[in-house]
Amino acid sequence: MAYSFLSIVPHKTLPEREKKMEASYLLKLLMFFFVALPRTTEASEAHQLKKFVSGYRSSSSERINSDYQSGGGGGVLVSTSEDGQMELDRIKDLPGQPEGVDFDQFSGYVTVDPHAGRALFYYFVESPQNSSSKPLVLWLNGGPGCSSLGYGAMEELGPFRVHSDGRTLNRNYYAWNNVANVIFLESPAGVGFSYSNTTSDYDTSGDTRTADDSYVFLLNWLERFPQYKTREFFVTGESYAGHYVPQLAETILRNNEIANQTVINLRGVAIGNGFVDHAGNLIGQIEFSWSHAQISDETHAAIRKECNFSSRTVSEQCRTALEIFDEEIGDIDFYNLYLHSVTMILTARLPPALQMPVLILAPTIMLALI
C-alpha cells in the first residue's frame, strides 16, 4: 500500500465576505425554501443513484471518477486559524423552531483546499443530555450529489422535521442526536452549500478527492471543536456513501498509522442501503426486481446470459437487455415498491457533482452564497 505523509501548511482565509457569512442565515434561507418550492422525496436520492449506475455502465471510460485509489491525494492541509470560530458558527435558533429546544446547534464552512478555494458546509447538533460523554457521528448522504442537510438532517435522522404548513419545524423524537453528537456534512464540493472557487473541481471530483477532502474537513473541524478530539468517532451514511464511508475510514486509519498516534479516534462505521460494489449491487437489483415481478422472465434471462458485470466493458447485447430492464421497471422508487408513482424533481444539465434536489439549488439561495 502506498502511503502519502502528512504535510502541515499555513491556512489561507477565504474572501472576507464569505468568512463573515453567518451559517445560521444560510439555514434560515433553507427553511424558507421548504415553503417556496415543492418538497422533494427520498426517491430523488434513489433516482440520482439510478442515473449514476446508468452512466457507469454506458462506457468503461466513464468509470474513472468513481475509482478510489488508496493512498491517493496530496498533502493534508491543517488550518491554524480556528480559534473562536466555534462560537461564530453557533446557531441561536432556526425559523419556525419549536419551543423547548434543549441542544446546541452549529453550522458553517470549513476550508479543505485554500488554494482552490474549496470549502465544505456542515450542520452539527449536539446531544440534549450528556453531550460531553456521547460519541461523535459523521453522516454522509449519497446520490452521488445529494445533500446531507436537505435529506439526512431535515428528512431522515436530524432533530427536526418540516411541518405540513411549510413554515414551522417539529421535533423528531427518533433523532440520532438523542444518543450521539451528529455532524451532517455536504460532500463533495458542489453538493448543497459546499463549493469551490475553481470551476474545474466540479468536473474532476471523484472518490479519492472526496475521501481526502472529508479527512481534511475533520482535522480542521476538530481544531474548531477541540473538545471532540479524543471522542469516539463513527462514520455513517447511505446509498453512494457505500463508497464514501469505507474510503474515509481507510484514510483515517492510514493517517493514524503514519502519524503513529490516534489522530481521529475511529471506532466504527455504518452503511445503510449502500452502493458498495457495482457488480454486486447491480446483480442484486436485477434479482430483486425479477423476484418482485417488476421485469419479465425473458428480460431476466437475457441479462443473465449477455451481461458480465465484473467486466469493464459492456456488450451491445447486454446494453440492449439493460435498456429493456429500465423500461419495464418504469418510474418507480426502488427503495419502496409499494408507493404510488412519483415524479422526480431534479436539476438538469448540470455537472454530475452539482446534480442534487432543486430545493438546495434555488436561485435566491445560490445568490446569497455568492
Stretch 128-146: mean pLDDT: 94
Q: What contacts 209, CB < 8 A, 6 or more positions away?
A: 73, 188
The least confident of 1-5, 175-179, 342-346 is: 1-5
Stretch 37-58: mean pLDDT: 53
- Neighbour count for residue 229 (Cβ, 10 Å): 15
Is pLDDT larger for residue 12 or for residue 209? 209
- If DSSP codes are grouped into helix, strand and coil, which group holds residue 274? coil
pLDDT digits (tens, 9 = 90+) for 328-347: 988 777 777 777 655 443 33
Q: Flag whether pLDDT at 29 surpasses 70.
A: no
Q: What is the mean pLDDT of the chain?
A: 78
Q: Flag whether pLDDT at 167 surpasses 60.
A: yes
Kindly tell me the burial class for residue 100, based on how many C-beta atoms sit within 10 Å of its own C-beta (0-12, 13-18, 19 or more): exposed
pTM of the model: 0.74
State the first-to-last Cα distance of the chain, in angstroms, to the nearest integer. 41
Asked if residues 183 and 136 have their Cβ atoms less than 8 Å apart, the reply is: yes
Q: What contacts 128, CB < 8 A, 6 or more positions away?
A: 102, 103, 177, 178
Q: Where are the alpha helices (DSSP H) in the chain?
A: 16-19, 23-36, 43-58, 85-88, 201-204, 207-224, 241-259, 278-291, 297-306, 316-329, 363-369
Give phi and psi for 194, each to the nearest 5: -70, 145
Q: Buried b / exposed e across 334-370, counting CB within 10 Å, b at 16+? A: beeeeeeebebbbeeeeebbbbbbebbbbeebeeeee
- Strand partners of residue 235: 138, 269
**Predicted pLDDT of residue 51:** 63
Q: Buried b / exposed e across 26-46, counting CB within 10 Å, b at 16+? A: bbebbbbbbeebebbbbbbbb
Q: Flag whether pLDDT at 7 surpasses 80.
A: no
Asked if residues 200 and 101 have their Cβ atoms less than 8 Å apart, the reply is: no
Q: Which domains does the chain have, with CATH numbers?
A: 29-369 (3.40.50.1820)
Q: Buried b / exposed e across 267-302, counting CB within 10 Å, b at 16+? A: eebebeebbeebeebbbebbeebbeeebbeeebbeb
Is pLDDT larger for residue 44 or for residue 230? 230
The least confident of 215-219, 246-250, 301-305, 326-330 is: 326-330
Dist. CA 121–CA 214, nearest whole Å: 11
**Predicted pLDDT of residue 47:** 63
How confident is residue 324, by pLDDT bands cut at 50, 70 and 90?
very high
- Strand partners of residue 109: 121
Dist. CA 74–CA 39, nearest whole Å: 39
pLDDT digits (tens, 9 = 90+) for 54-99: 555 554 433 334 555 555 444 455 555 677 899 999 999 998 999 9
